């Protein structure tokens, strides 16, 4: 399943968003234009839906409360709304629609509560809160049905979809020094638990994924010959090992703490693409990768998607990533500053971009100049 439309109102720096989404969707925009904030919509839904978590209340609290989430530009209307449409493919009619509205009580305990929670299956609305029970007991509106196993039977698919959203912002330093961390952060956003995740994957699945990754690394990393997963004899901890051709056969094995940043990021990226078929959020995958490799990420994602239908949202600043001629203008969301907050549109919604794309220009050429801060070079002029 995938998200084929996202609508939000008053979420962080977005007064409103209403965009369709493809299997592969690139998010481009200047710094602080809200790319991470958009990805956070899906992490937020995941946090609500995660059964062992604290549901809506915790998801909001972890983000500093409604006052932090609500768009500052929204003066009169204090309600946050998130609506997503889920379908089997980008073109298909939505199988599910899920919508919530959130507010904070103006007085008293200033609790976070739902203004609505609605679910449609196909054309039929199967949930419409506040319902009669909610009206009798307003405290019920502090929890979504999505987070309650007893209440979400009829739309368990949605709950499971959101639960399995994965966010990848692999920070090589954290992975490298995973041993020195006490446990890992919740949901492992930065990849410290990455090696554990590989370790938990069993037998054939593990080796087939690793051999695909090895194949890619042999192309991307000079002299890398082999990639192996091992457990340390003494500590029992999981490790990755790579053999480089310029060393003596037995001495040439290196562990992940010696891999380059780029190698680690590529491994994390490839593993994530192969790992599941749920929504994957990739934060700036180009970081510390060589431009030549970055240029291959877009087709790589596409080909991996053929094996696992994993929808991927990719935030990026990279010209190289967007030089691929096969990127469709509808696969690119452009973030631009508007009078109040940020506006998000498809690249193909801009007349100029459409004309350029139709005349042989790549998305990188046609779109990225729009995301350059107005009059670049000013930064260098600061005294």
Partner 1 sequence: MIRDVVLLGVEDALSETVGKAVLASVRMSASQTFGFKGNTYLRKKISDLNKTAKVLPVFLITDLDSPTGCASELIRDWLSDPPEPGLIFRVAVVEIESWIMAHRKALARFLAVSQDRVPRNPDQLRNAKEKLLTIASVSRRRDVRDDLLPARGSTAKVGPAYNSRLGEFVRTEWNPQSAAASSPSLKRALSALETFRDG
Q: Which residues bind ligand ADP (CB under 6 A)?
A: 12-13, 29, 31-37, 68-72, 341
CB crowding 336-354: b at 16 or more within 10 Å, else e: ebeeebbbbbbbbebeebe
DSSP 104: E
Nearer to ligand ADP, 24 or 70 (CB): 70
DSSP 166: E
- Residue 5's closest CA among 99, 118, 111? 99
Query: CB 337 → Mg ion: shortest distance, Å?
Result: 15
Structure tokens at 290: 């060589």
Query: CB 78 → partner 1: shortest distance, Å?
Result: 36
Question: What whole-number distance in Å separates Cα of residue 66 and Cα of residue 87?
Answer: 29
Query: CB 365 → partner 1: shortest distance, Å?
Result: 7
Residues in touch with partner 1 (CB under 8 A): 350-353, 355-356, 359-361, 365-366, 369-370, 372, 375-381, 383
Residue 232 partner contact from Mg ion, partner 1, ligand ADP, none using kind-dependent CB cut-offs of 5 to 8 Å: none
Residue 351 partner contact from partner 1, ligand ADP, Mg ion, none using kind-dependent CB cut-offs of 5 to 8 Å: partner 1
Residue 376 partner contact from partner 1, Mg ion, ligand ADP, none using kind-dependent CB cut-offs of 5 to 8 Å: partner 1
Query: CB 316 → ligand ADP: shortest distance, Å?
Result: 10
Residue 34 partner contact from partner 1, Mg ion, ligand ADP, none using kind-dependent CB cut-offs of 5 to 8 Å: ligand ADP
Query: CB 144 → ligand ADP: shortest distance, Å?
Result: 21
Q: Is 324 helix (H, G, I), strand (E, B) or coil?
A: coil
Nearer to Mg ion, 238 or 341 (CB): 341
Residue 101 partner contact from partner 1, ligand ADP, Mg ion, none using kind-dependent CB cut-offs of 5 to 8 Å: none
Neighbours of 181 (CB within 10 A): 13
Nearer to ligand ADP, 68 or 228 (CB): 68
DSSP 247: S
- Ramachandran sector of residue 65 (left: φ over 0; alpha: ψ -120 to 50; beta: rest): left
| Dihedral angle, C-alpha 92, 23, 369, 318, nearest 10 ° | 180
Query: CB 35 → Mg ion: shortest distance, Å?
Result: 5
Nearer to partner 1, 32 or 376 (CB): 376
Query: CB 203 → ligand ADP: shortest distance, Å?
Result: 38
Task: Write the DSSP string, 359-372.
Answer: TT--HHHHHHHHHS
How many angstroms from the chain centroid is the CA of residue 192? 17
Residue 12 partner contact from ligand ADP, partner 1, Mg ion, none using kind-dependent CB cut-offs of 5 to 8 Å: ligand ADP
Beta-strand relationship, 224-231 and 253-255: unpaired
Q: Is 175 helix (H, G, I), strand (E, B) or coil?
A: helix
Nearer to Mg ion, 34 or 193 (CB): 34
């Amino acid at each position: 399943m995938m998200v084929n439309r996202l609508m939000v109102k008053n979420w962080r720096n977005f007064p409103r968003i209403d965009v369709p989404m493809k299997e592969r969707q690139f998010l481009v925009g200047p710094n602080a234009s809200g790319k991470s904030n958009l990805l956070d919509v899906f992490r937020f839904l995941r946090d609500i839906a995660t059964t062992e978590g604290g549901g809506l209340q915790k998801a909001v609290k972890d983000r500093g409360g409604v006052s932090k989430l609500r768009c500052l530009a929204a003066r009169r209307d204090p309600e946050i709304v998130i609506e997503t449409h889920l379908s089997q493919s980008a073109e298909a009619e939505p199988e599910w629609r899920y919508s919530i509205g959130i507010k904070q009580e103006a007085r008293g305990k200033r609790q976070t509560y739902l203004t609505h929670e609605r679910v449609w299956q196909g054309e039929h609305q199967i949930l419409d809160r506040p319902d009669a029970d909610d009206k009798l007991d307003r405290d019920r509106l502090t929890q979504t049905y999505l987070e309650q196993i007893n209440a979400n039977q009829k739309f368990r698919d949605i709950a499971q979809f959101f639960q399995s959203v994965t966010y990848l912002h692999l920070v090589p330093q954290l992975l490298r020094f995973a041993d020195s961390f006490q446990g890992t952060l919740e949901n492992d956003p930065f990849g410290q638990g990455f090696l554990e995740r590989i370790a938990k994957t069993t037998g054939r699945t593990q080796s087939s994924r690793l051999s695909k990754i090895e194949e890619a690394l042999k192309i991307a990393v000079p002299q890398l010959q082999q990639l192996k997963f091992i457990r340390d004899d003494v500590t029992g901890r999981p490790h990755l090992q790579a053999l480089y051709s310029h060393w003596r056969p037995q001495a040439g094995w290196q562990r992940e703490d010696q891999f380059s940043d780029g190698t680690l990021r590529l491994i994390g990226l490839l593993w994530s693409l192969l790992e599941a078929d749920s929504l994957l959020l990739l934060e700036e995958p180009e970081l510390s990768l060589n431009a030549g490799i970055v240029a291959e990420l877009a087709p790589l994602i596409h080909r991996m998607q053929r094996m696992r239908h994993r929808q991927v949202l990719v935030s990026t600043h990279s010209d190289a990533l967007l030089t691929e001629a096969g990127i469709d203008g509808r696969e690119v969301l452009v973030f631009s500053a508007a009078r109040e907050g940020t506006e998000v549109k498809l690249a193909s919604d801009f007349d100029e971009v459409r004309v350029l794309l139709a005349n042989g220009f790549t998305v990188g050429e046609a779109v990225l100049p729009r995301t350059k801060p107005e009059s670049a070079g000013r930064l260098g002029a600061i005294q």
